[in-house]
Amino acid sequence: MRWSIVVLAVCFFSMHTVHAQQVNCEVKLLLERLPLEKQEKLKNFAEDIEAYINDYDWTGESLEEPIPVAIQIFMTDKSVSYEDRYSANFFISNKSDLQYYDKYWYFPYQARDQLIHSDTFFHPFTGFLDFYVYLILGNEYDKYGKLLGTPFFEKAKYISEQVGFNSVFLLGWKERTKIVEKILSEENKSFRLMKDLFFLGLTYFGEEDSTAQMYCRQALSYLDQILLSDPQNKEASQFLQGHYLELIDLFKEDQEVLQMLVRMDPRHTEMYQKYIKK
């Protein structure tokens, strides 16, 4: 039996509380590998995904600014005789310091399907999107306070646990489960606490005292320990890639921190050395 995403709209709207837009998602869809017939069927696919993500109440609260999300999907036709199916390479980021790449997305989709959120029913298309949006939200909320992203990571974990009831579309979910379990692990707590300290420091940036530098230096101490124990830590690398210019603004007069940054972030050594006194 073909998977269905359609749920009675009346149930959705009765449960859905209207809030200001919380996520501002832009989707780029690459269909070059699809037959022309499928390309025509999916001509509105990117807009449908954007509406699915942007129009939903993910957090239950209004945010001052919606969280930016960029998605790129490179699709391949994997249809069977009775159902349109696709595989896709999927890239999602917050346009700053976080990105996930997944090349094992496999799902059914009909152009007439209505995309509806469900907390109880797993679908390999919408469940996959929800999983990664919750990862983005969890990481962003960790910037607002100590471990505030945990409820969103728990929702992503719950989605991954639902997949066990689906024997056809299991591809990639073992790896996705590992991602969220690592995020929630005790060993990753220092990275999450580091983000809270760093963004707390940024709220003081521009003040006459050194409060911003104090918090951000504490954050760098966490990050330094993380990289000393795991030099290939992907999350730490992404964080430095997203914030090295802010770190330079904060510490361009602090020779000790600049030297630390050269050691921690050799990719941007040239930028740091511009402010290191010879």
Distance from the Cα of residue 161 to its chain's centroid: 19
pLDDT for the residue 18: 52
Q: Name the residue among 208, 215, 271, 273 with its Cα closest to residue 240.
A: 271
The pLDDT, as a whole number, for residue 163 is 84
Per-residue pLDDT tens digits of the chain, which is 278 residues long: 334 433 333 333 334 445 578 999 999 999 999 999 999 999 999 999 999 999 999 999 988 899 999 999 999 999 999 999 999 999 999 999 999 999 999 999 988 788 999 888 889 999 999 999 999 999 999 999 999 999 999 999 999 998 876 667 888 999 999 999 999 999 999 999 999 999 999 999 988 899 999 999 999 999 999 999 999 999 999 999 999 999 999 999 999 999 999 999 999 999 999 999 87
Render the burial of 218-248: b for 16+ CB within 10 Å, e for the rest.
bbbebbbebbeeeeebebbbbbbebbbeebb
pLDDT of residue 112: 79
Distance of alpha carbon 269 from alpha carbon 259, whole angstroms: 9
pLDDT number for residue 208? 83
Neighbours of 96 (CB within 10 A): 14
Minimal CA–CA distance to 67: which of 130, 96, 24? 24
Measured distance CA(176)–CA(155) in Å, rounded: 13
**Where do the domains of the chain lie?**
30-184, 193-273
Residue 124 to residues 154, 171, 233, Cα–Cα distance (Å) = 18, 10, 29
> Would you state the pLDDT for residue 2?
38
pTM: 0.90
